[in-house]
Amino acid sequence: VPHLLERVALLRSAELFSLLAILLAVGSAFAADAIGLSPAVGAFVTGVVAGTSRYAHQLFAEVVPLRGVLLGLFFTAVGMLFDPQALIEHWPLGLALVLG
C-alpha cells in the first residue's frame, strides 16, 4: 500500500490520489469479506497501513471532504438493520432506555 501511494503521489493528481484511497478501502473490504472477515476489518487494516505511511496527512486532507457523505451512508446502512418489530416486542426495554 505505501508503495502504491508513493507512485500515485508522484503523479501529483489530487483526484487520482483520492480515488486510490477510496478504492483501497473498498477493495480491502471486499477482500476481507471474500475470506470470511468483516468488511469493516479490511477497510480498518488498510486505514491503519495507509495512516502510517508518509502520505497520511495528504490522505486525510483528501478524504475529509467526503466525511459527510460517508457518515450519511453509514447511518443509512445501520438504520436499514433496525427491526421495528423487535422494538414493539420489547417495548418496556425501549421505554427504559429512553427514560434512563
Domain ranges of the chain: 2-99
pLDDT at 86: 87
- Mean pLDDT for 4-13 is 80
Percent of the chain whose pLDDT exceeds 90:
17
CA distance 8 to 93: 52
The highest-confidence range among 48-52, 64-68, 82-86, by mean pLDDT, is 82-86
In which band, very low, low, confident or very high, does the pLDDT at 36 lie, cut at 50, 70 and 90?
Answer: very high
SS3 content of the chain, % helix, strand, coil (to 5): 85, 0, 15
What integer is the mean pLDDT of 45-70?
82
Torsions phi, psi of 83, nearest 5?
-110, 105
R_g of the chain computed on alpha carbons: 19
Closest to 63 (Cα-Cα) out of 28, 25, 27, 32: 25
Determine the pLDDT at residue 34. 95
Going along the chain, which residue ranges are E strands?
none
**What pLDDT, on the 0 to 100 scale, is given for residue 65?**
81
Of these ranges, 47-51, 59-63, 70-74, 87-91, the one predicted with the greatest mean pLDDT is: 87-91
